[in-house]
Amino acid sequence: MELREQSKQNPVLVCAPFGRDGEAVAELLHGAGYTARVYPDLKMLVAAVDERAGAVLLTEEALTASGTLRGALARQPAWSDIPVLLLTSRQKSARFPADGLAGRYLAEITNVVLLERPLGTRSLLSAVAVALRSRQRQFVLRDQMELLEVRVQERTAELQQEVAQRLRAEASLHQSQKMEAVGQLTGGIAHDFNNMLTGVIGSLDMMRRRIASHHLEDLDRFMDAATASANRAAALTQRLLAFSRRQSLDAKPTDINNLVASLETLIRGSINERVQLQFVLDPHLPRAIVDANQLESALLNLAINARDAMPEGGQLTIETSAIELDDVYVEQRPGVEVGAYVVIAVSDTGVGMPPDVLEKVFDPFFTTKPLGQGTGLGLSMVYGFARQSGGQVRIHSQPGAGTSAKVFLPATGAEAVVESPSEASAPRGGGQRVLVVEDDPSVRLLVREVLEELGYRAVEAAEPHAAVEILASSTRLDLLISDVGLPGMNGREVAEIARTHRPKLPILFITGYAENAAIRAGFLGTNMSMVTKPFRLDDLAAKISEMTGASE
């Protein structure tokens, strides 16, 4: 834009308070085609300063008036640096003391030009033109910055849209993968459970037919088949709960070396003669906090996997050691806390696994074994059990170089808890009264029958509120048996109410699955115990006898 046209939109602000100096300067600028606005004092000029100003022209005398340009210039946008032309007297132009008004202005204003008077018309107009050109470049920069900001906003909007599309695509992929995993899981469950249910239902149907026709000679065969199928279903359920970290764990300080050594006979019976079994046990191994029964099952699973990986024979090594995991290890391998751990390594010299298979080994129902030779739940169960126990599982493998599976379990300095062997048969009761709180009629029927067969007297409650009424009454009770998962009020809450009325009453929990009962040590209180569904009636009878005997 031509300077004179620019000055119409961006005028020169003039302040020369003595005589007609201001009007004279304005007339000079107007005559040259510039637009100028005259202010009688600096205070009024400061009030008029905004980003539209083209330049400011002051005489030295204007600095004696009240007001300062510093505040007005500081409020300007970042791109704005209004040129200031300061007319000074010749005798004062050589020196501006720092404590004088002009000196302070020179320190406050960054874009100032000193012009000595008397000043020729051409020199003044030339200085104004230079100032306006400088100001015009600032306006060009402002426009470029605004255009750049618009483009940045547009690009930001485009990037946000791209990110949103990517997030939607990732969410869709995640959903697809999740549904695929759910499909694989439900498909595997349906396949295995349908086989097991066929064994149970078919055997019961055959038993009913044989009883109806009075052919009782081979009922045991069908009973055994039904029991075997039911036990397989129970084992599958436990594996699923282990994988999902929802099984009920009875974690206690355990001597891992003794546990591993006790499995030697079972493991040797599970491998063939071409596999050499070796134990390398750390004699200084600390105790570990773990459910011993579940650990035995996990180690047996790993040993069988190792055996299957060595069809031509090889060496199976079970090793125990202690390790301290520090911050560096935990940072590089998330999913475990800093602390002391006991490590049980099950290693083989078998075929090994490639990386793509190694990534999937913990997926439920994923197996490399031929159809019908593996459920694909073994390693997923081991993984879930270890994580629920506060540890982890690490598997290292290379094709042709074997596999090593390491189970990490939290270490403790506490002494190992030695379980006393269960009695061969439960002694009969002596008429003790047992309150049974169970909402499932079939389970309630079985518990009642067991109690009555053993000489106990059963008091039944199908839901928690009925149980509370009995607990608050004067009815004699020697034992409370309660399901954990009850409608409206869980078994632990029923137990708390029972303790308010009967502080010394033994309580036996029965659970099929209850998330808050997953770790027994944190769930059970004094004089409380737990059995897990499905249970053997002999085991239930032994536990009832143990607890009622303790109450006498």
Classify 99 as helix, strand or coil: coil
Report the alpha-carbon angle 527-531-536, nearest 5.
Answer: 135
What does the pLDDT read at residue 222? 79
Q: Which of 496 and 240 is assigned the larger pLDDT? A: 496
Q: What is the dihedral of CA 239, 241, 244, 246, to 10 degrees?
A: -150
How far apart (Å, rounded) are the C-alpha atoms in residues 262 and 480? 35
- Does the pLDDT value for residue 513 go beyond 90? no
Cis peptide leading into residue 118 (ω within 30°): yes
Specify which residues 436 forms β-bridges with: 460, 481
Task: Measure the CA–CA gap between 521 and 166, rounded to whole angstroms.
Answer: 45
Contacts of 113 (CB under 8 A, 6+ apart): 83, 84, 85, 86, 127, 130, 131
552 pLDDT band, cuts 50/70/90, is very low
Highest average pLDDT, of 229-243, 308-322, 364-378, comes from 308-322
Q: Is residue 19 left, alpha or beta, with left meaning phi > 0 and alpha meaning psi from -120 to 50?
A: left
**3-state secondary structure string, 11-23?**
CEEEECCCCCHHH
pLDDT greater than 80 at residue 462: yes
**How many CA atoms lie less than 13 Å away from 394 in the CB half-sphere?**
13
Examine the pLDDT at 427 and tell me if it is beyond 90: no
pLDDT at 191: 55
- 234-241: average pLDDT: 62
Range ranked top by mean pLDDT from 50-59, 106-115, 168-177, 260-269:
50-59
* Interatomic CA distance for residues 234 and 226, integer angstroms: 12
Q: For position 217, what pLDDT does the model report?
A: 78
Question: How large is the average pLDDT for residues 394-411?
Answer: 90
pLDDT for res 107: 62
Distance in angstroms (rounded) separating the CA atoms of residues 479 and 30: 110
pLDDT classification of 14: cutoffs 50, 70, 90: very high
Spatial separation of the C-alpha atoms in residues 474 and 479, rounded to whole Å: 14
Can you tell me the mean pLDDT for 121-136? 91
Q: Highest-confidence range of 232-236, 379-383, 386-390, by mean pLDDT?
A: 386-390
Instruction: Give residue 148's pLDDT.
Output: 92
Amino acid, res. 545: S
Query: 211-215, 276-280, 331-335 — which one is most confidently predicted on average?
Result: 276-280
Which pLDDT does position 18 carry in this prediction?
83
Per cent of the chain over pLDDT 90 is 16
Report the pLDDT value the prediction gives residue 333, as an integer from 0 to 100.
74
| Maximum average pLDDT range among 60-74, 176-190, 480-494, 510-524 | 480-494
- Between the CA of residue 389 and those of 83, 238, 249, 285, what are the distances in Å? 75, 15, 8, 18
The pLDDT-based confidence of 517 (bands split at 50, 70, 90) is: very low
Distance CA 46, CA 80 (A): 15
- How far apart CA 178 and CA 176 sit, in angstroms, is 5
**Hey, is 489 helix, strand or coil?**
coil
Report the C-alpha gap between 249 and 390 in whole angstroms.
11
Structural element, H or E, at residue 530: strand 528-532
**Residue range 487-511: mean pLDDT, rounded:** 87
pLDDT average, residue stretch 511-536: 66
pLDDT at 198: 74
pTM, full prediction: 0.46
What mean pLDDT, rounded, does the chain reach? 80
Q: What pLDDT, on a 0 to 100 scale, did the predictor assign at position 341?
A: 92
pLDDT above 70 (res 377):
no
User: Which domains, from first to last, does the chain contain?
Assistant: 3-143 (3.40.50.2300), 252-412 (3.30.565.10), 433-551 (3.40.50.2300)
In the predicted structure, residue 156 carries a pLDDT above the cut 80: yes
Residue 401 clears pLDDT 60, i.e. is over it: yes
What integer pLDDT is reported at residue 36 of this predicted model?
92
The answer to which of 155-169, 253-267, 337-351, 506-520 has the lowest mean pLDDT is 506-520
Neighbouring CB atoms inside 10 A of 406's CB total 21
Joined together, the tokens standing for residue 155 give 């690009």
**Given this model, what pLDDT does residue 305 score?**
85
Tokens of 342: 């006991």
DSSP string, 28-71: HHHHTT--EEE-SSHHHHHHH--TT--EEEEEGGGGGSS--SHH
Judged by phi (left if over 0) then psi (alpha if -120 to 50, else beta), residue 436 lies in beta
Q: Closest Cα to residue 378, out of 159, 510, 188?
A: 188
Report pLDDT for 518: 45
Residue-wise over 274-313: b if at least 16 C-beta within 10 A, else e? ebebeeeeeeebbbbbbbbebbbbbbbbbbebbbbbbeee
Looking at residue 371, what is its pLDDT? 46
CB–CB of 417/254 below 8 Å? yes
Q: What angle do CA 365, 370, 376 make, to 5 degrees?
A: 15
Q: 82-91, 433-442, 537-546: which has the highest mean pLDDT?
A: 433-442
Q: How far apart are the first and last CA of the chain?
A: 107
List, in sequence order, the alpha helices (H) in 213-309.
219-243, 256-262, 264-270, 292-308
